[in-house]
Amino acid sequence: MLSIMARRAYDRKTVINYFHSMPPAVPTARLWLRRFRFSDARPLAEAVGQSLPELSQWLPWAQGLYGVSEARTFVKSSNRSWRRGRAFDFSISMKNEPGSVVGGVGIWYTSRIQRSGEIGYWVRSDLTGIGVATEAAEALLPLGFEELGLHRLLMRIAVGNHSSRRVAEKLGFSYEGIAREEIMIRGKWVDHEVFSLLEQEWASRNPR
């Protein structure tokens, strides 16, 4: 078992290594995934605002007013987490819409010591159903297993969010079960389905 000092040393080392190795931008066939910056605040607020009726059903942060101020607060927090090596959020832009923000995708640690993490995503409502979330999430899988050295990667999806569930299934995540009343959304406790992908499963599908 690692001592407290060893854990702290491990954390400092991994934060430094992963901060410098994590790419600030990731291209895919149709998308640019890029670290959030303050110039994204307005298009981010517009994308969330357009999608609140849908997002508010599934995400605890997408409630009430979401304007430029809230978007700037998120970008500041996201950049701080990035610098500290805790979480890595990317804006999603369509290559044919330069400067746009059509969603977000991120990967973060749930436990560094146990080498486990989680991935999450959202997409502007008018672009759902065309594979944007799947393409964005798939692009972060090699970052999780190769850059962050994860052993286990999770997706937690609110029960009833069928579109998000299909993303997990398309990417080969295994269904584990239900985390009962895990997160409060709109004043109600919501069950979440848990999906996972292990490093050996990832490696077998992506041989070097």
DSSP 143-201: IIIIIS--SEEEEEEETT-HHHHHHHHHTTPEEEEEEEEEEEETTEEEEEEEEEEEHHH
- The answer to whether residue 163 scores a pLDDT higher than 50 is yes
Per DSSP, what are the bridge partners of residue 108? Answer: 87, 118
**Cα 49 → chain centroid:** 19
Q: Is the Cα dihedral 125, 130, 132, 134 positive or negative? A: positive
pLDDT of residue 90: 97
Percent of the chain with pLDDT over 70: 90
Nearest-angstrom CA–CA distance, 191 and 134: 22
110-153: pLDDT as tens digits: 999 999 999 999 999 999 999 999 999 999 999 999 999 999 99
Question: What distance in Å separates the CA atoms of residue 1 and residue 10, rounded to the nearest whole number?
Answer: 13
Residue 94 has pLDDT above 80, yes or no: yes
Name the packing angle between helices 41-55 and 68-83 (round to 10°).
Answer: 100
Least confident window among 14-18, 27-31, 93-97, 202-206: 14-18
pLDDT over 90 (residue 199):
yes
Residue 7's pLDDT band (boundaries 50, 70, 90)?
A: very low
From the list 195, 175, 106, 113, the residue with the least C-alpha distance to 144 is 106
| Mean pLDDT value across residues 160-179 | 97
pLDDT at residue 99 greater than cutoff 60: yes
The fold adopted by the segment(s) 4-149 is Aminopeptidase (3.40.630)
Q: What is the mean pLDDT of the chain?
A: 89
pLDDT at residue number 21:
66
pLDDT at 179: 97
Residue-level pLDDT at 6: 33
